Amino acid sequence: QVQLVESGGGSVQAGGSLKLSCSMSGVTFGECGMGWYRQAPGKPRETREMVARISSIGAIEYGDSVMGRFTISRDKAKKMLYLDMTSLKTEDTATYYCESDRLLSWGGCETLVDWGQGTLVHVSS
């Protein structure tokens, strides 16, 4: 059973930093991509946006709005995914979700299937 558990959210002033963590179990860690997504308060799930992703071979991409401020990393041994967030802005306020692509029986990966419950980040001015 896949389980993704985020932690590290909280309230911070603009300009501050937070580090999010995601503990994963039941996944074939590293065989597929994984990432962080966020959903602004009061917005529907369809608006959930990609914050940062890391592929199975370690290729990284960031959303335009967080480029240069956020850093994604992973620890394969611990099955942990991290998101270091610096220079936080009020518009970064959102619930942040950890996501892991699912390894399929034929070796491919299915994206945006397995999610954590989310951790709330609130940035005040």
Encode pLDDT of 74-115 as tens digits: 999 999 999 999 999 999 999 999 999 999 999 899 998 899
Is residue 94 within 8 A of residue 86, CB to CB? The reply is no
Among 50, 52, 116, which Cα is nearest to 79's? 116
Q: What is the DSSP letter of 46?
A: G
Spatial distance between the Cα atoms of 80 and 26, rounded to a whole number of angstroms? 12
Tell me the Cα Rg of the chain. Answer: 14
Residue 119: both structure tokens together? 């951790």
Residues comprising the chain, all counted: 125
Residue 59: both structure tokens together? 């290729």
The pLDDT of residue 51? 98
Is residue 6 within 8 A of residue 82, CB to CB? The reply is no
Is residue 56 within 8 A of residue 63, CB to CB? The reply is no
- When pLDDT is averaged across residues 10-19 and rounded to a whole number, the result is 98
Spatial distance between the Cα atoms of 94 and 121, rounded to a whole number of angstroms? 6
* Average per-residue pLDDT for the chain: 95
